[in-house]
Chains A and B, each alone.
Chain A
């Protein structure tokens, strides 16, 4: 009886499978023909064909998160315009706007179907995970070797940062377009609230902490606890051996935090969080931290150069409580520490599966992006410095006009130590959620610094399993 029943349902199942295949097939064909969207489907292949037939303009589609409301769009989209203008009739870049949160997922799916776009953002940007890049893209040889590109464009190759170039060289292949610009992360302070006795850069960490007085830092515990994690990185870098600890673990990540260096730094972070944190710290997301700073409720905030535009007059609607962007000064961390990681994968890589024409267009775009004019324009817009580019006076004068970016640039000297951020050495889930999630327990003393590090280590071990 039971067997019969089973057989019957099995039969029905089989029938359905067949029908499912048929019906979905025909459904696809039907809608395909009728829909006007059909012309955009399978974009890459059709557009390649087109390019081959009329043989003039090659269209290159770049899905990117540097679009929409993203901070990066302000520079990237006009850059694409400039490229299209310069190469009109030869290449045309078409931007496909992708929300930052779904960019990595989309790339994962496209990689699974072997339909990667020609140009893909590098791991470490746009949510692309370093581990995924290694296991999926590198292990399966899906990234195009840019060594030739470097030889064809000696100017570009000369401006690559050495550390990044080494990092991007895997098994003799250059798998990403290396970094040209380093964008060191420092901190901002509000001079109307807090006047350091001397440049913060020249203080020791203890001097800095005792000199803060009643002044508050804009910390966060929500999202990835970004501003708090920057401070912790600076604290670690100020411990003995901290610089090496941060800089030597970017490739294989760090899985054990039960070391005196980290425990001490966490202890200091705990003090700062308890005595010098803005009142909204617990539960604060990035917007809350930024708001604490821009409403005079915090005198300092750790953040990158992209925040500088928030202190321009035209971002005034984010200011309140008497805050004035003109009072904001910037510098790097105590102990002459700046957060920047040259051992990174650069900006873009090219998919091996792309056609030669597509690769040619992509390389042209990368070369354009890496030209001196474009790099200088980028620095003027978003900050940073290009150690291997000799700047013109014109550029330096322009840089001086942007007071905050210039200050940051000038705060670094030849003794400045550059260290990686925690995002570079923590495994993904620890950096993105676990670190911030544990901070409230550090603040209310339910965890000691030792316990905090032990908990975090446990989470890292679980991530490894």
Chain B
């Protein structure tokens, strides 16, 4: 009995140490970034882990008065949300059949989707640029959104395929016997049951798109189409370093991303809990 208690306590200690470690390594960088926005250049470089001496909002005032961050926020939001939603539907459909059905070419498709992760950005840049030019979507936020739809192909397939595989086949078969067609089985049985996976894939794609900078930088040119990460890049130029402004800009870029993500996560979790499917 005693031994069992000791073991139980040990396991508790281990669990909480693990969680505490995870929380610390995850939260430390963002705290450091926000804190640095309130320090001055010399202090960031000479005493990077000290607390700010006084609170100054000058860097925030500067970036908001010089740049149209409201506009960039709207652009980033429209691009990230639209591309994530479209991509999620597309890739969920694809992953569903890859997870649940046998068909000719199945392995090939899965392999092809996986290797997209390894296509170097440099070799993708040229064909994508040419495509967007031909579509007349250069310097247009929807051109960027279109490109972003393609970005999460491999990682979404990675996440969604096991998520659909975890939905018992017996449920599908039962539904078929009751007369459900292919689409209904997908839409009404598998999709709700794979919500956790969909949320994970969606959040990863959203955050990826929210932060993406390379394609945004080559596909847009005017101030009206600029996204948040692109604006952020202006502050990273080596010779004109001004770290408080860089970190103020960084804070302005990442905080909305995190807030949107946490809101979405709450939403999804609530609906997963209510659908009550775990039995």
Contacts and interface: CB of A to CB of B under 8 A. Distances in A.
Contacts of A25: 135
Contacts of B41: 287, 291, 317-318
Interface residues on B, range: 35 or more
A161 interface: no
A446 interface: no
Interface string A68-86: 1111000000000000000
A285 B237 CA distance: 12
Contact of A69 (B104, B105, B141, B234): B234
Contact of A287 (B45, B135, B136, B244): B45
Nearest to A38: B140
Interface in A91-143: 96-102, 105-106, 109, 112-113, 115
Most buried by A among B108, B141, B142: B142
B139 A43 contact: yes
Contacts of B241: 286-287, 290
A112 B45 CA distance: 41
Given A40-B139, A113-B130, A113-B133, A71 B217 contact: no
B5 interface: no
Interface stretch (B151-159, B188-196, B220-228): B220-228
A353 B245 CA distance: 39
Contacts, number: 139
Given A27-B146, A37-B139, A109-B129, A71 B214 contact: no
A96 B189 CA distance: 50
Contact of B240 (A70, A101, A109): A70
Given A69-B234, A101-B233, A28 B239 contact: no
Determine chain B's interface SS by DSSP, over half rule.
helix
A97 B140 contact: no
Most buried by B among A40, A70, A223, A319: A40
Contacts of B136: 28, 32, 38, 41-42
Interface stretch (A4-12, A207-215, A343-351): A4-12
A294 B42 contact: yes
Contacts of A31: 137, 140, 142
Most buried by A among B125, B223, B234: B234
Interface in A25-56: 25, 27-28, 31-32, 35, 37-38, 40-43
Nearest to B67: A68
B217 to A, nearest CB: 4
Nearest to A294: B42
Contacts of A12: 105
A5 B126 CA distance: 33
A165 B87 CA distance: 53
B37 interface: no
Interface in B122-148: 125-126, 129-131, 133-142, 146
Most buried by A among B42, B134, B244: B42
B51 interface: no
A310 to B, nearest CB: 10
Determine chain A's interface SS by DSSP, over half rule.
helix
A320 B42 contact: yes
A291 to B, nearest CB: 4
B46 A109 contact: no
B224 A37 contact: yes
Given A41-B139, A71-B240, A317-B41, A96 B222 contact: yes
Contact of A63 (B221, B237, B238): B221
A288 interface: yes
Contacts of B237: 68-71, 99-101
A40 B222 contact: yes
Contact of A105 (B218, B230, B238): B218
A69 B240 contact: yes
Contacts of B131: 24
B243 interface: yes
B43 interface: yes
A321 B135 CA distance: 57
A99 B140 contact: no
B77 interface: no
A250 interface: no
Given A24-B135, A27-B146, A109-B126, A288 B45 contact: yes
A352 interface: no
B217 A112 contact: no
A306 interface: yes
A71 B237 CA distance: 9
Interface in B209-263: 214, 217-218, 221-225, 230, 233-245
A115 B238 CA distance: 29
Contacts of A8: 104-105
A286 B243 CA distance: 12
A364 B241 CA distance: 33
B40 interface: yes
A274 interface: no
A275 interface: no
Contact of B242 (A43, A69, A306): A69
A69 B235 contact: yes
Given A28-B137, A40-B140, A9 B235 contact: no
Given A27-B146, A71-B240, 17 more contacts: A8-B104, A9-B108, A31-B137, A38-B140, A40-B225, A41-B136, A43-B222, A69-B245, A71-B239, A97-B223, A99-B217, A99-B233, A99-B234, A101-B233, A102-B217, A291-B42, A321-B42
**Which are the 6 A-B pairs with shortest beta-carbon distances?**
A320-B42, A28-B135, A68-B234, A9-B105, A102-B217, A291-B45
5 contacts: A31-B142, A37-B141, A68-B237, A106-B221, A295-B45
